[in-house]
Amino acid sequence: MNSSEQLWQQAILKTDATIGEAIRNLDQVAIKIILVCNEAGILEGTVSDGDIRRGLLKGLNMDSPILSVTHRNALVVPPDFSREMVMQLMVANKIHQIPVLDEERHVIGLYLWDEMTSPPARPNLMVIMAGGMGTRLRPHTENCPKPLLPVAGKPMLEHIIERAKQEGFNQFVLAIHYLGHMIEDYFGNGERLGVQINYLREEAPLGTAGALSLLNPVPDAPFVVTNGDVMTDIRYGELLDFHIRHAAAATMAVRVHEWQHPFGVVQMQGVNIVGFEEKPTARSHINAGVYALDPAALDVLTADNRCDMPTLFERLQAQIKRTVAYPMHEPWLDVGRPDDLAAVRLNANP
């Protein structure tokens, strides 16, 4: 969704506006759509340049009411529609803007084709946890930190940075510990990749969240955190937008994990058999290792003390802070074992 929320908010006009006001708005806001809302903030329809031109051809003038050219059956989407589904709707309907409405039909966002195909620069920080020992990947990691292991000719960490860069991120912080000097030597200040890279150097392993206590200065806006061994097609920008939209202290990307029981299950009450289930499938949500955090979430950390992400979430929950899950469906692999590394290398090959 459009990250420059003030743009779509500026494109809102009330139902008592005139065509003249609509023309000025289209010219000033320059996103080629007007969102016509009533006093309660509920969307009544949209107005485009074409709607106005057709109205003027019919004899309307600058003082005519905006409702006389309002398109009442505008295509809209709920907030849980994926980026891919929205883009398909835009292509199928030959439109470049789709409002996002909540259940009460209040406008809460606006998808813009230009921004979806050319994401705007995001000033938000992205922190990548790259300090792990990679014990389960030995001997691959005896002389190479896990995030530097090559996949399709480039380190996993470089794939993560390049993907985020495509979504407009250019400020990165890498948390390093084990063989961290090799990561610093490879990436430097990020100039080669066209981004800015700084480092958090852990004196001792601080877990998947503890290194965030070393951030200085503390970010002044929500930021993304990802493990350096998670290869995924998740859209980091959409995760961040979801986090902001839900006014959360912390957001965790989660995936549905399915596991099929290898045996038939007998259902019992006491000694009585009450049913059978042949090799049932259990479904649960697992932590995908990608997060969005509000800067205030760092208040629950103590400098240089080990802390894992689930613990950070539990501390926030204990303070009645909002923590939410971001359901993801994109390809994802936590490269923790040799089999995982082989799989991600195979899938990455042309």
pLDDT in tens, 213-241: 888 889 999 999 998 888 787 889 888 98
Highest mean pLDDT among 20-24, 263-267, 281-285, 339-343: 20-24
The pLDDT assigned to 155 comes to 83
Flag whether pLDDT at 83 surpasses 70.
yes
Domain 122-348, CATH homologous superfamily name and number: Spore Coat Polysaccharide Biosynthesis Protein SpsA; Chain A (3.90.550.10)
The pLDDT assigned to 324 comes to 92
Flag whether pLDDT at 323 surpasses 70.
yes
Q: pLDDT band at 169, cuts 50/70/90?
A: very high
pLDDT in tens, 60-69: 888 889 999 8
Greatest alpha-carbon pair distance for the chain in Å reads: 83
Question: CA 115 to CA 167: how far, in whole Å?
Answer: 10
Question: CA 77 to CA 221: how far, in whole Å?
Answer: 27
The DSSP annotation for 241-301 comes to HHHHHTT-SEEEEEEEEEEE-SSPEEEEETTEEEEEESSPEEEEEEEEEEEEE-GGGGGG-
Question: CA 245 to CA 119: how far, in whole Å?
Answer: 18
Sign of CA dihedral 149, 153, 159, 165: positive
The burial class, CB within 10 Å (0-12 / 13-18 / 19+), for 67 is middle
The pLDDT assigned to 62 comes to 87
pTM metric for this prediction: 0.62
pLDDT in tens, 25-54: 888 887 888 899 988 888 999 998 888 878
Question: CA 302 to CA 310: how far, in whole Å?
Answer: 15
The pLDDT assigned to 2 comes to 41
Sign of CA dihedral 13, 17, 18, 20: negative
Q: Which residues pair with 230 in a beta bridge?
A: 334
Tell me if the domain spanning 5-117 has CATH number 3.30.70.1520. Answer: no
Q: pLDDT band at 1, cuts 50/70/90?
A: very low
- Residue spans of the domains in the chain: they are 5-117, 122-348
The pLDDT assigned to 84 comes to 76
The DSSP annotation for 286-349 comes to EEEEEEEE-GGGGGG--TT----HHHHHHHHHHTT--EEEEE--S-EEE--SHHHHHHHHHHH-
